[in-house]
Amino acid sequence: MESVIEFRNVTKRYPLYHHIGSGIKELIFNPRRALSLLSGRSYLAIEDISFEIQKGESVALIGRNGAGKSTSLGLVAGVMKPTSGTVKVIGRVASMLELGGGFHPELTGRENIRLNAILLGLRRKELKNRLDRIIEFSELKEFIDEPIRVYSSGMLAKLGFSVISQVDPDILIIDEVLAVGDIAFQRKCMETINDFKKKGVTILFVSHNLADVKNICDRVIWIEDHKLREIGESSSVIASYKEAMA
Ligand SMILES: Nc1ncnc2c1ncn2[C@@H]1O[C@H](COP(=O)(O)OP(=O)(O)OP(=O)(O)O)[C@@H](O)[C@H]1O
Ligand SMILES: [Mg+2]
């Protein structure tokens, strides 16, 4: 077996100056955070997390809000660096991390598709061949030449996943975002993710929908309080998570 994602003692802290944008508001509504900001402290997102994922495995990250799931995905996607420890990722990654992430509000749906498909590694010729299929998948035909600032959140999710559905990644990373799509679209996405799985794509998946997690994933990583609480076969980790939440 070949491990394609490897976290070794990974810790990520966000420097608190990231919050300075909210300025006075932050000081009024979140004085404790504003004060630690002035004292130059940082905010812990994940602490000393280690695991390995093998090629072709489907793995979910579960845990409460703020546990550190999206941060872990961001580290795999390479949009940020760990504060300490090492993150190893082998292969081409396609990710859907946040709504409209990587999209430009003033560009149309079609233009955003082009932009993202190229960023995800499609060649121009491949894009030309697949553009119709992407638009078809998105179910956004009537809106495809409108700027995406007029899109609803469900429509943005559709646009984002439609591009993903037609690229050829080695590793697929999906954060929550699909939950804003209607149920018919969610079902279509789950089928697409399963097709990727059958093709041997490694999948890293975050969802609060444990039925989806059970459906798609072989293993689950439960993150609690920024640390790895349990890792193992899906149904057993889900069972302990449910018990702890009850
Ligand atoms: N840009 C940031 N600056 C400072 N702190 C952040 C930032 N992003 C996340 N955090 C903090 O890091 C911790 C982990 O956040 P993360 O987004 O990874 O959680 P999550 O498990 O994805 O939660 P959710 O289920 O709500 O999506 C949280 O406590 C959060 O407040
Ligand atoms: Mg998250």
- Quote the pLDDT of residue 41: 72
CA distance 157 to 171: 19
CB under 5 Å of ion ligand 2: residues: 70
Ligand 1 atom at minimum distance from 71 CA: 18
- pLDDT exceeds 60 at position 18: no
Question: Does the C-beta of 70 come closer than 6 Å to ligand 1?
Answer: yes
Question: Does the C-beta of 65 come closer than 6 Å to ligand 1?
Answer: yes
- Quote the pLDDT of residue 229: 98
C-alpha closest to that of 222 among 201, 243, 202: 243
Amino acid at 228: L
What are the tens digits of pLDDT across the range 198-207?
999 999 999 9
Q: Which of 70, 79, 80 has the most ligand 1 atoms within 8 A of CB, as the residue to mutate?
A: 70
DSSP 8-state class, residue 147: B
Q: Calculate the average pLDDT of the chain.
A: 91
User: CA distances (Å), 27 to each of 12, 52, 100, 175, in order?
Assistant: 24, 40, 29, 30
User: CA distances (Å), 143 to each of 12, 18, 110, 156, in order?
Assistant: 39, 35, 9, 11
Number of domains in the chain: 1
DSSP assignment of 150-202 equals: G--HHHHHHHHHHHHHTS--SEEEEESGGGGS-HHHHHHHHHHHHHHHHTT-E
- Quote the pLDDT of residue 19: 52
Query: Rounded to two decimals, what is the model's pTM?
Result: 0.88
- Quote the pLDDT of residue 2: 87
Residue 186: which residues within 8 A CB-CB, separation 6 or more? 178, 179
Question: Does the C-beta of 100 come closer than 6 Å to ligand 1?
Answer: no
CATH of residue 218: 3.40.50.300
Strand, helix or coil for residue 19: helix
| CA 225–ligand 1 middle distance (angstroms) | 11
Q: Which residue range is the domain that position 67 belongs to?
A: 3-35+42-245
Question: Does the C-beta of 42 come closer than 6 Å to ligand 1?
Answer: no
